């Protein structure tokens, strides 16, 4: 920097409110991982400024502190702030900022976007709504445009929050412009300067000799080891990136982008790159499939957004809405439904506890009019839809949840079959199937106001995809069950006997009291449908046919599979094309012998769900039963 007039300027406080060491704007991100907040805010601001496909590059490097423009003057203010905030909340942040500025070198994270409009407009105090003014020194200023994802005033707070110096720098080249503009912002606390004059806590890099207005530096030299900007777009430099030691390869940044902008990357609307001294990585539509394997949650939602048959619907106020579903019994728990609007960033999560399978789903509402309405329901963090933030918000959210719930039930019925409620069965099921209802989700109709109640949702009638919402509620059919177990008796008629009948299978408990004429047969005992709980499904990723088997007691024996035709009818003589079979119990996989439709010598433990996986010689999907 050749002009010594440029540096960080802190306005005289006069009668302004005193600023403490805790930034109110930064409190919007309290409790969040710094990487997640940083990713969401910078990601949505770059997408908002997009002029086509957007690329964001995260580059981490060490930089000498003496290369920071205006560092000498900034150190003076930091020392004053550290001294004068002692004994107040937030002083530790100011102490860290002062110590960081005195180091020989610090880690700097540069976040650069390309394919964007850059920061147009001027920095003048008379042009406060320009993109340049709004980002570099605005608070709560955002264009009133429903297509936008975020707010400059809140999003700009996340940079200093991620900086151990509470200071960030900017360079930007506007689309169609020919000058790179340089700006800087330091978020400190009110303090007396070395001359005893009270100063506000916000410092801005400007021409200090130009007292009547802001005047930012143009065409600066490259900053530290980072190359000079030559294409339209904006760079954010986070001085003393606080996660540099914990995340030296920026893997946390990568996972946060996949979790929050998965659909935008998949659709080719966003590319993200990471560059560090250790290595590089790139997220784009082509390479995403490889990277999602690094995070189970991301992989589950990736399988959802690649759903070849999403459920489509139309809402009077929101326009087109879509639901992408991945029913996946291999998940450790249901991941529920994440919701996105036009920026294709994760906003909210809907939980439906009445869905009896593990799944991950994505709800998309990117129609222009729907995007505008939904944005009004979001707080500054853009992390949920709050019905109370706009008139009619309650009905909008209720309609979306109804659409999701009906879509999920439709998919479960299609892949697994119609749900039948068995009276009293719930007391035998694992607790994980009944997750606690969140406070933001309305209680089901008819739920008592006091008492333990139930965490299950009331049933609703299943509509077809694309029908208007909401559907009216109706009850499910309920059945009672009686177990019949075949045993080898005289002649061809099976003897109706207790659970000890037939074969040599072993149990811990005694059988029933019904007399029978059966005798122990030859070979291994048979485990029948009445002995266990089970269901089957097809794994869309591997093509395997899977069964989940749960027994109330230790049991061993053979299982005879049945192929089910339309409507659940049994195809008695059809032999499944099984190549190989295995059983997974408590994470341990054991091969199974098989002959025809019979799986031999299964060992099931009481109360433990085992998963049987069948690899078939054909690509057909089968619904299976157990004889």
Q: How confident is the model at residue 422 (pLDDT cuts 50, 70, 90)?
A: low
On the question of a cis peptide bond just before residue 476, with omega within 30 degrees of 0, the verdict is: no
* Domain covering 6-244: architecture: 2-Layer Sandwich (3.30)
The pLDDT, as a whole number, for residue 551 is 84
User: Which of 426 and 55 is assigned the larger pLDDT?
Assistant: 55
Q: Is 272 helix (H, G, I), strand (E, B) or coil?
A: strand
Is there a contact between 304 and 360 (Cβ–Cβ < 8 Å)?
Answer: yes
Is there a contact between 531 and 512 (Cβ–Cβ < 8 Å)?
Answer: no
Residue 200 CA, distance from chain mean position: 39
The answer to whether residue 270 scores a pLDDT higher than 90 is yes
Is there a contact between 226 and 60 (Cβ–Cβ < 8 Å)?
Answer: no
Rounded CA separation 159/175 (Å): 23
3-class secondary structure per residue, 497-524? CCCCCCCCCCCCCCCCCCCCCCCCCCCC
Query: Which residues are CB-contacts of 364 (< 8 A; sequence separation ≥ 6)?
Result: 263, 321, 322, 323, 324, 339, 340, 341, 344
What are the φ/ψ torsions at residue 245 (nearest 5 degrees)?
-75, -40
Least confident of 25-34, 532-541, 576-585: 25-34
The pLDDT, as a whole number, for residue 483 is 39
**Distances 227 to 220, 231, 448 between C-alpha atoms, Å:** 11, 12, 65
Least confident of 13-22, 298-307, 456-465, 520-529: 456-465
Rounded CA separation 218/223 (Å): 13
Rounded CA separation 558/227 (Å): 68
Helix then strand then coil, % of the chain, to nearest 5: 25, 30, 50
Burial class (CB in 10 A: 0-12, 13-18, 19+), 349: middle
The answer to whether residue 602 scores a pLDDT higher than 60 is yes
Burial class (CB in 10 A: 0-12, 13-18, 19+), 93: buried
The pLDDT, as a whole number, for residue 205 is 97
pLDDT > 90: what percent of the chain?
50
The answer to whether residue 321 scores a pLDDT higher than 80 is yes
The answer to whether residue 244 scores a pLDDT higher than 80 is yes
Tokens at residue 68, please? Answer: 């920071």
Q: Where are the domains of the chain?
A: 6-244, 300-416, 420-434+479-486+494-627
> Please, where are the H alpha helices in 313-392?
368-375
Q: How confident is the model at residue 272 (pLDDT cuts 50, 70, 90)?
A: very high
Is there a contact between 28 and 153 (Cβ–Cβ < 8 Å)?
Answer: no
The pLDDT, as a whole number, for residue 312 is 96
The answer to whether residue 253 scores a pLDDT higher than 90 is yes
Least confident of 171-185, 404-418, 449-463: 449-463
* Burial 578-607, CB ≥16 within 10 A → b, else e: beebebbbeeeeeebebeebebeebebeee
Rounded CA separation 330/440 (Å): 28
Over range 90-100, report the average pLDDT: 95
The answer to whether residue 23 scores a pLDDT higher than 80 is no
CA atoms lying within 13 Å on the CB side of residue 261: 32
Rounded CA separation 381/41 (Å): 8
Tell me the whole-structure pTM to 2 decimals.
0.69
User: Which of 23 and 466 is assigned the larger pLDDT?
Assistant: 23
CA atoms lying within 13 Å on the CB side of residue 158: 26
At 526-565, the pLDDT tens digits run: 888 778 888 787 776 677 888 888 888 888 889 888 887 7
The answer to whether residue 499 scores a pLDDT higher than 60 is no
């Amino acid at each position: 920097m050749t002009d010594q007039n440029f540096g960080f300027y802190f306005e005289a406080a006069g009668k302004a409110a005193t600023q403490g060491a805790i930034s109110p704007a930064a409190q919007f991100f309290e409790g969040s991982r710094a990487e997640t907040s940083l990713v969401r805010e910078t990601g949505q601001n770059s997408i908002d400024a997009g002029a086509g496909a957007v690329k964001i590059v995260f580059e981490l490097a060490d930089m000498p502190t003496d290369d920071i423009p205006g560092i000498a003057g900034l150190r003076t203010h930091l020392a004053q702030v550290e001294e004068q905030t002692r004994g107040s909340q937030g002083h530790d942040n100011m102490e860290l900022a002062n110590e960081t500025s005195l180091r020989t070198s610090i880690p700097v994270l540069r976040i650069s976007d390309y394919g964007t409009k850059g920061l147009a407009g001027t920095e003048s105090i008379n042009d406060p709504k320009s993109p340049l003014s709004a980002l570099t020194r605005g608070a709560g200023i955002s264009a009133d445009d429903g297509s936008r994802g975020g707010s400059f005033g809140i999003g700009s707070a996340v940079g200093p929050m991620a900086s151990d110096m509470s200071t960030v720098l900017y360079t930007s080249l506007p689309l169609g412009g020919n000058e790179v503009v340089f700006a800087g912002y330091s978020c400190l606390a009110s303090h007396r300067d070395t001359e005893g004059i009270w100063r506000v806590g916000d410092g801005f890099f400007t021409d200090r000799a130009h007292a009547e207005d802001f005047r930012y530096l143009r065409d600066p030299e490259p900053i530290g080891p980072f190359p000079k900007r030559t294409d339209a777009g904006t760079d954010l430099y986070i001085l003393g990136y606080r996660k540099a030691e914990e995340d030296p390869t920026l893997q946390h940044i990568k996972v946060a982008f996949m979790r929050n902008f998965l659909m935008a990357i998949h659709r080719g609307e966003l590319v993200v790159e990471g560059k560090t001294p250790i290595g590089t990585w790139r997220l784009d539509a082509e390479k995403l499939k490889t990277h999602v394997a690094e995070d189970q949650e991301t992989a589950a939602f990736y399988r959802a957004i690649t759903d070849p048959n999403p459920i489509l619907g139309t809402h009077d106020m929101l326009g087109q809405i879509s639901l992408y579903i991945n029913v996946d019994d291999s998940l450790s728990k249901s991941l529920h439904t994440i919701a996105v609007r036009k920026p294709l960033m994760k906003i909210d999560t809907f939980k439906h506890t009445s869905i009896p399978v593990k799944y991950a789903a994505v709800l998309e509402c990117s129609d222009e009019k729907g995007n505008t309405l939904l944005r009004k329901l979001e707080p500054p963090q853009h992390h949920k839809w709050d019905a109370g933030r706009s008139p009619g918000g309650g009905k909008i959210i209720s309609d979306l949840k109804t659409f999701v719930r009906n879509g999920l039930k439709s998919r479960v019925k299609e892949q697994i079959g119609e749900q039948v409620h068995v009276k009293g069965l719930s007391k035998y099921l694992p607790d994980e199937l009944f997750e606690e209802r969140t406070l933001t989700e309305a209680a089901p109709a008819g739920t008592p106001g006091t008492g333990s109640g139930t965490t299950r949702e009331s049933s609703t009638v299943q509509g077809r995809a694309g029908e208007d919402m909401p559907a009216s509620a109706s009850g499910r059919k309920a059945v009672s069950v009686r177990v019949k177990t075949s045993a080898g008796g005289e002649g061809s008629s099976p003897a109706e006997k207790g659970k000890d009948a037939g074969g040599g299978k072993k149990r811990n408990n005694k059988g029933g009291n019904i007399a029978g004429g059966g005798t122990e047969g030859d070979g291994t005992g048979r485990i029948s449908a009445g002995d266990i709980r089970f269901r089957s499904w097809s794994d869309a990723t591997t093509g395997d046919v899977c069964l989940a088997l749960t027994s109330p007691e230790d049991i061993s024996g053979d299982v005879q599979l049945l192929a089910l035709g339309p409507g659940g009818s049994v195809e008695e003589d059809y032999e499944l094309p099984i190549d190989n079979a295995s059983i997974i119990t408590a994470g341990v996989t054991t091969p199974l012998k098989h002959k025809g439709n019979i799986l031999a010598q299964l060992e099931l433990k009481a109360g433990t769900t085992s998963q049987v996986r069948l690899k078939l010689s054909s690509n057909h999907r089968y619904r299976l039963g157990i004889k």
